[in-house]
Amino acid sequence: MPMQLSSEQLEAYDRDGYVVIEDLLSTSEVDALRERIRDYTHGGRSWERIKVQIEPRIQRGELKVDHPGDGIRKIDGLVQGDDLFNKLGMHENIVGIVEQIVGPDIKMFRNSLLLKPPEVGSIKGMHQDSPYWPIEPMTLCSCWFTLDDATVENGTMAVIPGAHKQGPLPHVSVTDDYVIDERYYDMADTVVTPIRAGGGLFFHSLLPHYTGPNQSKKWRRAIALSYMSAQSNYTGEGESPEYVHVKGKTYPGRVR
């Protein structure tokens, strides 16, 4: 049977804005996903249907790496363009938990493979996701799924429990980032969330969170799978993009 959150875990998600669930996938499934990532970053697998972002310091020539794959920061669109990652995005354990949170009619807003190469991966500053995104209500749920053991040393997620209830906070542009104004949070309130490979952090799209730099000699690879109710509204310009259908109904006049 698919995994389900207990009533206590659902209460924790509502109260804190997140819950960590280990062992969402088997070791063999995680190993296959890691091999596929390596095919993209170092094996020459085609990037035709995906979007790749390079570490900003490498883009500017401030940092050199031995192989171009050691400088990749983000890969978008793997759920749409890769069979193994499509299975991950539709995995019954992940979708079953998301359904408990957002309801039975689900679309995927985005999927981003987030890479922190050894001693290269940089910090992603404190932010909330919904202020970046043209979707209302701001109640999306993401599964930050780990392909490697995510630790303090290699840049696991840190969050501010309960701060999602404050609503959207003011964000400001800084070098290479868009982050919450420091006047609106206290770093002393953060909780670091180590997660074993194959586990996931399910979190609310208004939960403040950040990831530190990778100061270790090991990779930290994770993918953010972000889901929303199919009854959500698109608030951007023009017609709603066509989002990945995950489960349930589509509603006229709402996100496509």
Q: Measured between alpha carbons, how far apart are the two ends of the chain, in Å?
A: 30
* Rg value, the chain, Cα: 18
When mean pLDDT is compared across 96-100, 140-144, 177-181, 198-202, the lowest value belongs to: 177-181
- In order of their start, the domains of the chain are 7-247 (2.60.120.620)
pLDDT tens column, 162-218: 999 999 999 999 998 899 999 999 999 999 999 999 999 999 999 999 999 999 999
Nearest to 226 by CA among 114, 126, 116: 114
Amino acid letter, 88: L
Rounded to an integer, what distance in angstroms lies between the CA atom of residue 178 and that of residue 180?
A: 7
* Reported pTM: 0.95
Q: Is the pLDDT of residue 48 over 80?
A: no
Across the strands, what pairs with 54?
72
pLDDT tens column, 108-128: 999 999 999 999 999 999 999
| Tokens describing residue 63 | 């940092």
Question: Going by C-beta distance under 8 Å and a sequence separation of 6 or more, which residues neighbour residue 215?
Answer: 119, 153, 154, 155
What DSSP element (H or E) covers 95? helix 92-102
